A and B are shown apart, each in its own frame.
Chain A
Amino acid sequence: MTTDTHDSASAGPPKGIGPMQRREMWLAYLMLAPTFAIILMIVAGPLLANFWISVKPVQLADLRPPTVLVNERVRGGPEAVGDSATLEYRLRNSSQDEEIRNVVLSDEIPAGFDIAEVPEPCSVDGGKLTCTLGTVAPGWRDRLQLEGTVTQVFLDADRPERQSEPQIAGEANNILTNFDFTLENFRRIFSADEFWSVLRVTFYYTIFGTGGALVLGLFAAQLLNTVFPGRGVLRGLFLFPYVSPVIAVAFTWVVLFDPFSGTLNALLTKMGVVADPINFFGQRAIEFSFLGIPMEFPLALTTVIAFEAWRYFPLSFLFILARMQSINTDMYEAAEMDGATPLQQFWYLSLPQLMGILSVLFLLRFIWTFNKFDDIFLLTGGNAGTRTLTVDVYEQGFALSNLGAGAAVAVVVFVVLVTFATLFIRFSPKEEGL
Chain B
Amino acid sequence: MRPGSVILAALTGLIWGVTAMVVIAVTLTLITGEVALPQATVAGLAGLVSALAFVWWRSSGAGGGLPAWALSAAILFLVLMTASFAAPFGLPLGTTPVWQGLGLIAFVAGVTAANRVTLSGARLGQMSRYEREVIYIRIAKGIGFVVFTIIVALPFYVMVMTSLKSQQALLANPLDLSIDVSQGIDGLFRSYVELFTQFNFGRYLMVSAFVSIATVVLTLLFSVPGAYAVSRLRFPGQAFLARSVLLIYMVPAIVLVIPLYAVFSQLGLRNTLTGLLIVYPATTIPVALYMLQGYFRGLPSELEEAGLMDGLSRIGVILKITLPLSLPALASVSLYVFMIAWNEFLFAFMFLDDPDIFTLSRGVVSLNSSEVPRQHLMAGAVIATVPVLVIFLWFERFLVQGLTAGSVKG
Q: Which residues of A contact B (CB under 8 A)?
A: 21, 24-25, 27-29, 31-32, 34-35, 38-39, 41-43, 45-47, 49-50, 52-53, 58, 63-65, 176, 219-220, 222-223, 234-241, 243-249, 251-253, 255-256, 261-263, 266-267, 270-272, 310, 315, 318-319, 322-323, 326, 339, 341-343, 357, 360, 367-368, 370-371, 373-374, 378, 390, 393-394, 397-398, 403, 406-407, 410, 413-414, 417, 421, 431-434
Contacts and interface: CB of A to CB of B under 8 A. Distances in A.
Contact of B360 (A241, A245, A373): A245
Contact of A397 (B148, B258, B393): B258
A319 B407 contact: yes
B136 to A, nearest CB: 7
Given A46-B256, A234-B149, A360-B407, A271 B388 contact: no
21 contacts: A28-B230, A34-B221, A35-B285, A38-B278, A42-B256, A42-B282, A49-B263, A53-B259, A63-B266, A219-B148, A236-B392, A239-B392, A243-B388, A244-B343, A248-B381, A270-B35, A319-B403, A341-B133, A368-B250, A393-B257, A410-B254
A334 B364 CA distance: 55
A253 B130 CA distance: 41
B256 A263 contact: no
Given A46-B263, A342-B133, A263 B175 contact: yes
B4 to A, nearest CB: 15
A326 B38 CA distance: 43
A367 B410 contact: no
A206 B263 CA distance: 30
B408 A433 contact: yes
Nearest to A418: B250
A261 B259 contact: no
A223 B141 contact: yes
Contacts of A244: 156, 343, 385, 388-389
Contact of A248 (B346, B384, B393): B384
Ranked 5 nearest A-B pairs via Cβ: A42-B282, A371-B252, A49-B259, A248-B381, A31-B225
Contacts, number: 288
Interface size class of B (residues with CB under 8 A): 35 or more
B174 interface: yes
A98 to B, nearest CB: 15
A397 to B, nearest CB: 5
A285 B30 CA distance: 29
Interface in B123-160: 129-130, 133-134, 136-137, 141, 144-145, 148-149, 151-156, 158-159
| Residue picked from A245, A326, A394, most chain B C-beta under 10 Å | A245
B251 A394 contact: no
Contacts of B26: 267
Contacts of A319: 403-404, 407-408
Contacts of A65: 266
Interface of B: 25-26, 29-30, 35, 37-38, 129-130, 133-134, 136-137, 141, 144-145, 148-149, 151-156, 158-159, 162, 170-171, 173-175, 177, 221-223, 225-226, 228-230, 233-236, 238, 241, 246-248, 250-263, 265-266, 278-279, 281-283, 285-286, 289, 294, 314, 339, 342-343, 345-346, 350, 360-361, 364-365, 368, 374, 377-378, 381-382, 384-385, 388-389, 392-393, 396, 400, 403-404, 406-410
